[in-house]
Amino acid sequence: MTEINASIRFDQRLYRQDIRGSMAHCRMLVRQGLISPAEGKKIQAGLQTILREIEAGRFKIDLKLEDIHMHVEARLAELIGKPAGRLHTARSRNDQVATDFRLWVRDAIDRIDAGLLDLQKTLLRRAEEYAATVMPGFTHLQAAQPVTFGHHLMAYVEMVGRDRSRLNDARARLNESPLGAAALAGTSLPIDRTSTAMELGFDRPMANSLDAVADRDYALEFLSIASICAVHLSRLAEEIVIWTSAQFRFITLSDAFTTGSSIMPQKRNPDAAELVRGKVGRIIGSLNALLITMKGLPMTYGKDMQEDKEPTFDAVDSLELCIAATAGMVADLKANSARMQEAAGEGYTTATDLADWCVRKIDMPFRQAHHVAGSLVKLAESQDKPLEALTLKEMQSVEPRISKDIFAVLGVQNSVKSRVSYGGTAPANVAKQIARWRKLLAKEKGKADAR
């Protein structure tokens, strides 16, 4: 029973939040006249001592005390005696752990958001560097149309931006205080839940005491967002694995983010990228674990809910590490621009430009233009040469109205420069999007500084 009941091995992570919540609760009890100022002073001093002991590694763990909350309470009694028993006035472990865990998830969100901001800035720097570097864009992992490497990296800036937006939305929803809901029904004592909520940085106290102790939506929402974010990181990691392969040779990573083979001396393996890709399963698994734990629980608290912490802790550890590793790889990578441009011209990737020219210049319906372009691709394939190497006469044998102006849109450089629609890959567009994002992030920093 001791083994299965105890959570101290993992919930000791909550010690800062637990002590912070207890201090706020203590000050409120003093203000409300529920404990004396002298008792409050002793409690605050004792809690500060416990905090120093934990951070110095001198705090003793005893499985019989179950969790971090009981450990702090027991040590406080050892330090200050009878006044320690006053701290639990108008409070239950149910609302206490709900408060601590909510604070911990909020702190984790803030750290992860800061990590994602750093990743965005790193992607922006590299996108600017490679704004005009041509590479093949793919569908079905087949060369489709030329794009720029900067444009490709900017796609991840957008994806990470949505991840951060979801985190901020989730943070706003979780930012209500359960403290003072007690076991499940509130308390008859004259407490001030608004003051403790404000002191702990919450926007307000939770409005329903049952919901306050039963709710783990905030953890589920966070894990859902973490899973989506991890999938984004995994997609970039998979591309890094592909791009570094001998078959692609689009980029190289230094020894800082690769490892050697134990038997093949020529190999440099993209292990950091593979591990980012691999850790997604753990993060998604954490979401599934908590969903399954919560799905059959009636109101309000059941000991099952002790299982909320380990998957969340593990997901946060994994995600923070993946974000840092991804930012490191993006900063470290070196593009093989010549190879990228060569690959961008393979597979007749400018065929759509040819079809678009027919639509634009000779007013041809797109389906007909698509057919013309396809016929010219077959002609070029039969001669084993790129589209732009066909002569005007050869092109006119398929469509007589084609003029020499067609050559202005063929070739990968011409292709990317022509993609000027909003969101397109033209280098000028990429530069505008980089500037837009830098402006957005600068505004965001101003708001954070104001807070």
Residues annotated as catalytic are: 140, 261
Which residues are paired to 259 by β-bridges? 269
Tokens standing for residue 252: 């190289």
| Structure-block tokens of residue 168 | 């901020």
Strands, DSSP E only, in 256-390? 259-260, 268-269, 334-335
Q: What's the count of helices (H) and strands (E) in the chain, helices before strands? A: 18, 8
Measured between alpha carbons, how far is 265 from 293 in angstroms, rounded to an integer? 47
- 261 Cβ neighbours under 8 A, 6+ residues apart: 267, 269
Which strand (E) or helix (H) includes residue 225? helix 217-243
Rounded CA separation 139/425 (Å): 15
Amino acid letter, residue 276: V
Q: Tell me if 147 sits within 8 A of 426, measured CB to CB.
A: no
CB 220 within 8 A of CB 290: yes
Q: Decide: residue 230, CB within 10 A, 0-12 exposed, 13-18 middle, 19+ buried.
A: buried
> Which of 318, 199, 324 is CA-nearest to residue 256?
324
- Do the bridges between strand 176-177 and strand 204-205 make them parallel or antiparallel, or are there none, so unpaired? parallel
